[in-house]
C-alpha cells in the first residue's frame, strides 16, 4: 500500500474492504478457494498461520463466514501440530503461539468451536517469555486481554489496579495497558471506550505503518465488547462494523 493508497479513515477503509475483502486482488479468494487443496504442513508454523488467520478475521468483519469451516478445520490441524512440535527453538519464539491464538480467534468469532486446549498451550508459552518491549509484546497483550487474562498481563508488565485516568491513550501502546487496568478495576465498557475509540481511530494509519494488524483489531474488540461489555462472540463482527460505521 503506497502513501497515495493509504486510507484516510475508517469510512475509506470499509469501502475498500467491501470492494475486496482480501484487501488485495487475491488474498481472501486464495484462502476461500484454493486452501481446500492444501495440507496442514504447507502452512508455516508462524507467519503462514498468522496471515491465514488475519485474512479470515478480515472476512468475518465483512460477513464472509460462509465457506470457512473447511479452512478452519485445516488451520486447527496445523495449530495442533504447532502445539505438539518437539522443537525448543520454535516453541520459544512468540510467532507460532500467537498464530495459534489468532486461529483460535477465527474459530471463536465464527462459531467454529472453542480451542481452549490450544489457547492454554499458546498462553503458557507466551507468558513464560519475559517481556522485551517489542511489537510482539503488544500482540501478546491484546491476545491475552481478548480472553480476560488481565491479571497475567498485569504480572508481565507490572500493571497494578488503580485509577484509569482521564482521556484517551497517548499512543497505541498505551491502549492495551489502559484496557487491562479497566479489567482489573472491574470497570464497565463505558470506561474502556475512550481508549478503545482512540485506538480505533488510529487503526487505518497504524495498519498502513505496520504497527498493527487485523488480528489485533479483533482481539482488542473481543476484550472491550465481549470480556468487558458481555457481547456474544458470534455477534462481535456485526457489532464492530456498526461501531466503525459510526466513527
Could you list the residue range(s) of the whole structural domain that residue 17 is in?
A: 3-246
The model's pTM: 0.87
Residue 200 main-chain phi, psi, to 5 deg: -60, -45
Q: Distance (Å, rounded) from C-alpha 116 to C-alpha 15?
A: 35
Q: Distance (Å, rounded) from C-alpha 218 to C-alpha 107?
A: 12
Q: Distance (Å, rounded) from C-alpha 164 to C-alpha 181?
A: 6
Q: Are 98 and 50 in contact (CB under 8 A)?
A: yes
Instruction: Report residue 9 as a C-alpha cell.
Output: 479513515
Q: Is the pLDDT of residue 21 over 70?
A: no
- State the CB neighbour count (10 A cutoff) for residue 8: 9
Domain count for the chain, please give it.
1
Question: In this predicted structure, what is the pLDDT of residue 24?
Answer: 46
Q: How confident is the model at residue 51 (pLDDT cuts 50, 70, 90)?
A: confident
The per-residue pLDDT for range 132-141, each reduced to its tens digit, is: 777 888 999 9
Q: Are 78 and 49 in contact (CB under 8 A)?
A: yes
Q: How confident is the model at residue 165 (pLDDT cuts 50, 70, 90)?
A: very low
Amino acid at each position: 500500500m503506497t502513501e497515495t493508497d493509504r486510507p484516510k479513515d475508517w469510512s475509506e477503509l470499509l469501502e475498500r474492504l467491501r470492494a475486496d475483502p482480501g484487501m488485495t486482488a487475491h488474498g481472501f479468494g486464495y484462502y476461500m478457494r484454493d486452501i481446500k487443496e492444501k495440507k496442514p504442513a504447507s502452512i508455516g508454523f508462524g507467519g503462514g498461520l498468522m496471515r491465514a488467520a488475519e485474512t479470515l478475521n478480515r472476512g468475518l468483519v465483512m460477513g464472509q463466514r460462509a465457506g470457512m469451516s473447511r479452512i478452519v478445520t485445516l488451520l486447527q490441524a496445523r495449530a495442533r501440530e504447532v502445539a505438539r512440535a518437539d522443537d525448543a527453538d520454535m516453541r520459544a519464539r512468540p510467532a507460532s503461539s500467537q498464530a495459534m491464538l489468532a486461529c483460535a480467534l477465527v474459530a471463536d468469532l465464527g462459531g467454529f468451536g472453542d480451542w481452549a486446549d490450544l489457547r492454554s498451550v499458546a498462553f503458557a508459552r507466551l507468558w513464560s517469555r519475559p517481556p522485551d518491549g517489542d511489537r510482539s509484546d503488544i500482540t501478546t497483550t491484546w491476545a491475552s486481554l481478548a480472553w480476560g487474562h488481565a491479571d497475567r498481563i498485569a504480572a508481565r508488565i507490572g500493571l497494578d489496579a488503580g485509577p484509569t485516568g482521564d482521556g484517551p491513550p497517548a499512543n497505541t501502546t498505551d491502549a492495551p495497558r489502559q484496557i487491562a487496568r479497566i479489567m482489573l478495576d472491574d470497570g464497565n465498557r463505558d470506561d474502556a471506550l475512550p481508549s478503545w475509540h482512540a485506538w480505533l481511530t488510529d487503526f487505518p494509519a497504524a495498519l498502513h505503518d505496520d504497527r498493527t494488524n487485523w488480528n489485533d483489531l479483533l482481539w482488542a474488540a473481543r476484550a472491550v465488547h465481549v470480556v468487558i461489555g458481555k457481547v456474544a462472540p458470534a455477534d462481535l463482527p456485526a457489532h464492530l462494523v456498526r461501531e466503525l460505521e459510526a466513527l
